[in-house]
Amino acid sequence: MDMKNVSNLKLLIALTLFATIVSCNRSSNSGNTDSATGWKINDKRGGFQYNTQFKEQETPPGTSFIEGGTFTMGKVQDDPMHDWNNAPNQQHVQSFYMDETEVTNINYTFYLDYLKNVYPPDDPNYALIYKGALPDTLVWRNRLGYNEMMTENYLRHPGYANYPVVGVSWIQAVEYANWRTDRVAEMALQESGYIKRDAHLTDVNAESTFSTDTYINAPSQTYGGNSEVLEGGKRRQQTDADGNPINVYASRETGLIPVKYRLPTEAEWEYAALGMSELRSYNVYRGRKKYPWDGQYTRSGKRVNRGDQMANFKQGKGDYGGIAGWSDDGADITAEVKTYSPNDYGLYDMAGNVAEWVADVYRPIVDDEFNDFNYYRGNVYTKNAINEDGSVKIVTVDEIVYDTLPNGKIVARDLPGEIARVPVDEDETYLRANFSQSDNRNFRDGDKRSSRYYRESFDETEGQKNNDTRKMYNSPKHRVEVDSAEGKLIREYDKSNSRTSLIDDDVRVYKGGSWRDRAYWIDPAQRRYFPQDMATDYIGFRCAVSRVGSKSQNGGKRRN
């Protein structure tokens, strides 16, 4: 090979190496350069803003990380009643976070105090907001028992501060989770410099509040459009080369707005309660783990505390705690949270103490044939209400919407400063394969077409189709409304003798045993239901937060 060819070969190799390096640099997500175009991200001169340094979702306050996986849902050890409402089925749950403990009395009274300060109950415009959030303290009463001490003291007395809150309906629990979302996001944005420090203490009133959804969709309308609060953060003081403010508002792309709090789904709650983090044996994987702790018994087998009860539950007729000083579970009603040891996920009282609301609408059958991933029944899809000018509709003080529940209680649906929500319509459902309507609570179960009595015929005289059917869930239909003239409640109870069930779209699942229940119910797979607008002295709740990004907390790196 002559020298000319050698030189050409060297040049070709050099060009190839250069092209490879350039290609690798473009294909890798290096810093602030878009791998697809080579354009700069986060250019101070304007354009696309994005957090390219995001590493890991912070663990939300008060929660533990639950790494998702597969498990046998509904596998119970004992089923003498043969309810057939928890047939075993294989499910996969995504990673999420869950409260270490149930929401406590002090947590909930802090929420009530916020509502009282922002929406004064002595103001007729806001009186129903605070009243609608109050727990029902009368749930402690028993016609043949003296429980007035709990009725008067359990919610507010400091002696019960760290006990789980009860007397809270499913609807109230959801509203608390929504409120908590806004308070955590509000604090996160203050700490990151997008909102004036301590604005939640100095600048909040009924007409000037923070809503996470409002901040994301119409940030300038947050705090009632109070520019002093919105421009008071330290980031607003930063400018680009031309002196213009940068990073005025945080967006989802910043990664600074926390993921919402909510009630856990039934599948999430059951998976978390089993606590299978450290127990990878064959029996556990196949669903033969009976309690949140290891073993088949309710008493500890460890030498240091052998014989002690592992949870707070009713041990027998007239026995709510055991013999005083011996074989006692330490509580006759509820116990202070963290009284008993946590499960392997770091969750306390996933058996006993109080049963807990979960998000799902109750049906006797979990439809795993249709879905076995993040199972949940209860989706009601909504969207932001839009004004004629194309902007989102923000609820004002004069536009608060209240719902009158079947039991006559009135609760606020939309608070001032929040975005009004409406059901999705044909614009979102047309030619979609994954959903066709807003309300999907009775999908494949309970609607007319899922009934074995469904028959469609054509009435030639009327010129229309008739549905000859008996509904699968023929539950009572009570009617409660407000008389617009006198402002009084009109109650009409369903006295029909043809009702066959209490199950409808407004009953929710609750899981876990309580201080009132026998050991049978503390099996995490057991399930029961209760009307979403009613409360008891044995049902509480805890919140969950979805995980974004990698499944595990090690950055999603493959384990070898």
Question: Count of alpha carbons within 13 Å of 364, Cβ hemisphere only?
Answer: 10
Q: Is 517 in a helix, a strand, or coil?
A: coil
pLDDT tens, 196-205? 999 999 999 9
**pLDDT at residue number 315:** 85
pLDDT band at 351; cut points 50, 70, 90: very high
Mean pLDDT of 98-113: 98
pLDDT tens, 281-338? 444 444 456 888 777 777 776 766 666 777 888 888 988 887 776 667 778 899 999 9
Packed helices 170-191 and 105-118: angle between N→C axes, nearest 10 degrees: 80
Quick one: residue 97, left, alpha or beta (phi over 0 = left, psi -120 to 50 = alpha)? Answer: beta
154 contacts 165 by C-beta, under 8 angstroms: no
With a cut of 50, say whether residue 23 has pLDDT above it.
no
pLDDT tens, 262-282? 999 999 999 999 987 654 444
108 contacts 166 by C-beta, under 8 angstroms: no
pLDDT tens, 444-486? 886 666 666 666 655 555 555 655 556 677 888 888 877 766 6
Q: How far is CA 370 from CA 75, 89, 224, 374, 481, in A?
A: 19, 12, 44, 12, 37
Highest mean pLDDT among 5-9, 297-301, 389-393: 389-393
**pLDDT at residue number 28:** 42
Selection from 95, 107, 103 nearest residue 272 by Cα = 95
With a cut of 60, say whether residue 169 has pLDDT above it.
yes
Mean pLDDT of 378-383: 96
**pLDDT at residue number 373:** 96
With a cut of 70, say whether residue 427 has pLDDT above it.
yes
pLDDT band at 14; cut points 50, 70, 90: low
pLDDT band at 25; cut points 50, 70, 90: very low
pLDDT tens, 36-79? 988 888 877 666 778 888 888 999 999 999 999 999 999 887 77
